[in-house]
Homo-oligomer: A and B are copies of this chain.
Amino acid sequence: MPIKAVVWGENVHEQTNAAVRDLYPLTMHGTIAAALNQDKGIEATTATLQEPEHGLSEKRLAATDVLLWWGHAAHGEVKDEIVERVQKRVWEGMGLIVLHSGHYSKIFKRLMGTPCSLKWREAGERERVWAINRGHPIAQGIGECLEIGETEMYGEPFAVPEPMETVFVSWYEGGEVFRSGLTYQRGAGRIFYFSPGHETYPIYHNEGVQQVLRNAVHWARNPAPAWSGITNAPNVPTDKAKEKIVQKGLRLHADGDKGLS
């Protein structure tokens, strides 16, 4: 059964900026979804900010294996309620791939617990994305590095937690470096941040970038059943303990209390 991927786009610059529209006539999220669908093992659709519930209903998220997130101009317009819903699905096991300026999205900042800040420059300079974890599933098929002719520079320090794995590190013509591919796990959900991508450059038309995204969808998918109770803090009553124990000492809670924690 193919992996169900949803490419979420805020869909703002595609509507308001002619240059972006010319570069991405299918929109950016549409372009990415088409690239994913070249892989028979992936079934990708799109969702946007402007749809009801931003296109991310409970039902749709429950049927999504991996969500890709593009946002830039409208992070603040994403409703907190939907962000919390997405976060819960990640904890339950849905994969999440955060793209470029999505470093400042509500969902990424909530999952990281850090500012997710960085330096930037829009000069159309050259970027070289080095695969430093050469045997990683996400780095397959692209050789030792990806060359991107015109890019937006994203520079360190990138204020994120230490990753589970550093897959890519980027070199920039202007002299900076950036950890451009990082993996995390939060609850049962796998997260991949990938920095290349920008509205005014043809980066999502780049074959190597598309390959990375297809690889990442496969990597991020957790086939285990959803960990549905992950937000609960259940009480284990004394008479249900694995080992026989005797109730002792003072208590805050009476039998059957729901408990504070």
Which residues of A are at the interface with B, using a C-beta cutoff of 8 A?
13, 17, 19-20, 23, 72-73, 87, 91-93, 101, 103-104, 110-115, 117-125, 128, 130-137, 140, 145, 150, 153, 155-159, 161-162, 164-166, 169-177, 179, 184-189, 198-201, 222-224, 227, 230-238, 241-243, 245-253, 259-261
Contact = CB atoms under 8 A, between A and B. Distances in A.
Nearest to A161: B186
A174 B261 contact: no
A96 B119 CA distance: 27
A19 B253 CA distance: 13
The 4 closest A-B pairs by CB, nearest first: A135-B188, A124-B249, A175-B242, A124-B248
Given A155-B236, A259-B120, A187 B135 contact: yes
A117 B259 CA distance: 13
Given A118-B233, A175-B241, A198-B252, 11 more contacts: A91-B115, A104-B260, A120-B259, A122-B251, A123-B241, A123-B248, A130-B157, A132-B157, A133-B157, A135-B224, A200-B250
B174 A169 contact: no
B166 A251 contact: no
Contact of A249 (B20, B150, B236, B242): B150
Given A72-B260, A177-B171, A242-B128, A114 B224 contact: no
A44 to B, nearest CB: 22
The secondary-structure label for the interface of chain A is: loop
A133 B248 CA distance: 31
A42 B157 CA distance: 30
Nearest to A141: B224
A14 to B, nearest CB: 12
B113 A188 contact: no
A161 B199 CA distance: 33
Contacts of A238: 121, 123, 174
A111 B110 CA distance: 8
Contacts of A260: 72-73, 101, 104
A106 B142 CA distance: 33
